């Protein structure tokens, strides 16, 4: 059995490893550390949760123990795809280099440039960064990469998924050709193979597990949901998720719940909180301070359920995660391996449960083809709130019952003015006006309104039934009724003067 003491690490590094409680290296550590200490390029392929971070941090701090950093010229560079993974690498550096006089700087988004500039100006031995923020500092003229001796690319396949490969290639070109490169990935896509063949020189290829395989200590389950209607799928999945968490009982000490979309993360987290669960969301649209505070609460045990997008699926080392729930089946099969790899870490057992609707069948088939095994199907638990599930649609559309219902305001009695404005004649008007069925169709004269006030539109009055089988001229009906001629509609009791004026016509030739 190989021990850390057999790997020719610096004694001060070995002391820090012992203080951290580790004595035996993992397979990727035992095979990657010796060639890294020989300053060879290393290409490490291992599934998530196998200890890849320590496999490059330990030899890196040993090699950097001798030497001195210069201002704006870091001696080593670690590239990580996400802020959380970069922060985790910085924590590992603090743990294993506690007895060495080495400095570090963490360059991630969401943090002030001025603070990061002060660290770079003093000179750092280890620079840990995300690709975008690193290039921002370089383009501002605050950073030089010509002094990099060791360059590490962690989670390279995630870099590919996030579109960082052009940035990685540019960063490679900004570093010296004589650098040592440590390249780690869980899968080896053709694009990553091209990069390694271009920028690595005779690397020691280390593959401790078949590519894209799940750890054997993770119990996998697939639970199906068959909604009656497609627009009820999300609500029924939320009800199923709550039932699954309750069914696990005390065995579910904490869990990460993965969703495909950021909007779904917020909806699921809010639904769980409204049903009494201790849950919080984390995704890329949140402020860095909120993301850091949420992760710290999950690590400390103050937070029970972490609802996350794939930003948390890669590289986060939270050893004691008991469960992983896939609320959405990942559309990329490799993401499934990384998601469930958040549980069952450091030799512990874990459980991963995936909720799948009929529309997810093709994604499930792709995952099973990748991991070379079928995912065991499990019976769905009883839903105590089945009446609640399916009442609403996805993403919080109208009618969802997951959210607390806003009480309706009681109807107020109509005011006297509103009653006066209502259509139809008032009782007083009905008493003053005698019934005149023949003249009901005749328009009434326009009312006189005070100056400065707009006239109120007259309410529409329904026409009475016409008893005559055939229509007759109104004037004829008026004569028969003895009412004589009525004034023209809308003119009042007088005839306008301009209608009574005579006029002279001219004929051609006059």
108 and 65 housed in the same domain:
yes
Tell me the CATH number at 322: 3.40.50.300
Confidence of residue 210 (pLDDT cuts 50, 70, 90): low
Instruction: Give the end of a domain, one of 350, 369, 396.
Output: 396
Nearest to 47 by CA among 30, 31, 33, 27: 27
Confidence of residue 467 (pLDDT cuts 50, 70, 90): low
Q: If DSSP states are collapsed to H, E and C, what string results for 64-88?
A: CCCCCCECCECCEEEECCCHHHHHH
Query: For the chain, what percent of residues have pLDDT higher than 90?
Result: 48
Classify strands 255-258 and 305-308 as parallel, antiparallel or unpaired. Answer: parallel
Nearest to 149 by CA among 108, 102, 107, 195: 102
pLDDT single digits (tens) 129-141 = 999 999 999 999 9
CA atoms in the 13 A half-sphere facing the CB of 343: 27
Q: Does residue 495 fall inside a structural domain? A: no
| Overall number of domains in the chain | 2
222 and 199 housed in the same domain:
no
Q: Which of 299-303, 396-400, 469-473, 488-492 has the lowest mean pLDDT?
A: 396-400
Q: Does residue 462 fall inside a structural domain? A: no
- Residue 97: which domain range? 4-207
pLDDT single digits (tens) 63-106 = 999 888 888 999 999 999 988 889 889 999 999 999 999 999 99
Written as six digits, the tokens of 379 are: 């019976």
Written as six digits, the tokens of 150 are: 């060791």
Q: Does residue 124 carry a pLDDT above 60?
A: yes
**Across all residues in the chain, what is the average pLDDT?**
81
Q: Does residue 355 fall inside a structural domain? A: yes
pLDDT single digits (tens) 256-313 = 999 999 899 999 999 999 999 999 999 878 887 888 899 889 989 999 999 998 865 5
Q: Does residue 335 carry a pLDDT above 90?
A: no
pLDDT single digits (tens) 141-163 = 999 999 999 999 998 888 887 88
Identify the DSSP state of 192. Answer: H
Q: Does residue 250 carry a pLDDT above 50?
A: yes
Q: Does residue 182 carry a pLDDT above 90?
A: yes
Q: Does residue 218 carry a pLDDT above 80?
A: yes
Confidence of residue 428 (pLDDT cuts 50, 70, 90): very low
Q: Does residue 432 fall inside a structural domain? A: no
The reported pLDDT for the residue numbered 475 is 59
CA–CA distances in Å: residue 304 to residues 319, 345, 381, 403:
14, 18, 21, 20
Q: Does residue 458 fall inside a structural domain? A: no
Tell me which H or E stretch contains 76.
strand 76-79
State the average pLDDT over residues 35-43. Answer: 96
Q: Does residue 389 carry a pLDDT above 60?
A: no
Written as six digits, the tokens of 303 are: 């937070």
Written as six digits, the tokens of 183 are: 């390249």
Bridge partners (DSSP) of residue 129 are 79, 107
Instruction: Give the end of a domain, one of 375, 396, 417.
Output: 396
If phi over 0 gives left and psi between -120 and 50 gives alpha, with beta otherwise, what is residue 466? beta
Q: Does residue 447 carry a pLDDT above 90?
A: no
State the average pLDDT over residues 184-189. Answer: 83
């Amino acid at each position: 059995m190989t021990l850390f003491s057999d790997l020719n690490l610096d004694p001060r590094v070995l002391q820090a490893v012992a203080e951290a409680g580790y004595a035996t290296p993992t397979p990727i550590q035992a095979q990657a550390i010796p060639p890294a200490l020989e300053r060879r390029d290393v290409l490490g392929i291992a599934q998530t949760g196998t200890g890849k971070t320590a496999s490059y941090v330990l030899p890196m701090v040993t090699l950097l123990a001798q030497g001195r950093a210069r201002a704006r010229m870091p001696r080593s560079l670690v590239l990580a795809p996400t802020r959380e993974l970069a922060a985790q690498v910085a924590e590992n550096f603090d743990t294993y280099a506690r007895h060495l006089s080495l400095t570090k700087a963490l360059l991630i988004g969401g943090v002030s440039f001025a603070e990061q500039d002060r660290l770079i100006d003093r000179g750092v031995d280890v620079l840990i960064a995300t690709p975008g923020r690193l290039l921002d500092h370089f383009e501002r003229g605050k950073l030089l990469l010509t002094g990099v001796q060791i360059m590490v690319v962690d989670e390279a396949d995630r870099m590919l998924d996030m579109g960082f490969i052009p940035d990685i290639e540019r960063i490679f070109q900004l570093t010296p050709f004589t650098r040592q490169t440590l390249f780690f990935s869980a899968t080896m896509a053709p694009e990553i193979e091209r990069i390694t063949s271009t920028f690595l020189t005779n690397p020691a290829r280390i593959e401790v597990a078949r590519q894209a395989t799940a750890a054997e200590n993770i119990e996998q389950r697939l639970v199906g949901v068959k909604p009656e209607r497609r627009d009820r799928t999300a609500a029924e999945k939320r009800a199923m998720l709550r039932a699954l968490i309750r069914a696990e009982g005390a065995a579910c000490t904490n869990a990460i719940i993965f969703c495909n979309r950021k909007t779904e993360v917020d909806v699921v987290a809010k639904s769980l909180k409204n049903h009494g669960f201790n849950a919080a969301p984390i995704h890329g649209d949140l402020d860095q301070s909120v993301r850091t505070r949420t992760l710290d609460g999950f690590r400390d045990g103050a937070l029970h359920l972490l609802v996350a997008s794939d930003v948390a699926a890669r590289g986060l080392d939270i050893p004691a995660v008991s469960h992983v729930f896939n609320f959405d089946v990942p559309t990329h099969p490799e993401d499934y391996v990384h998601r469930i790899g958040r549980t069952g870490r450091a030799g512990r057992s874990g459980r991963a449960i995936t909720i799948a609707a009929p529309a997810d069948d093709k994604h499930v088939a792709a995952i099973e083809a990748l991991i070379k095994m079928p995912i065991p199907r499990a019976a769905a638990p009883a839903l105590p709130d089945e009446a609640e599930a399916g009442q609403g649609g996805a993403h919080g559309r109208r009618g969802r019952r997951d959210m607390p219902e806003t009480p309706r305001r009681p109807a107020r009695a109509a005011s006297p003015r509103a009653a006066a404005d209502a259509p139809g004649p008032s009782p007083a008007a009905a008493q003053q006006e005698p019934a005149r069925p023949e003249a009901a169709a005749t328009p009434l004269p326009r009312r006189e309104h005070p100056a400065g006030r707009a006239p109120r539109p007259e309410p529409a009055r329904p026409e009475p039934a016409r008893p005559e089988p055939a229509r007759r001229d109104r004037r004829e009906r008026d004569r028969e009724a003895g009412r004589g001629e009525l004034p023209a509609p809308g003119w009042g009791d007088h005839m306008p003067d301009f209608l009574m004026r005579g006029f002279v016509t001219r004929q051609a030739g006059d």
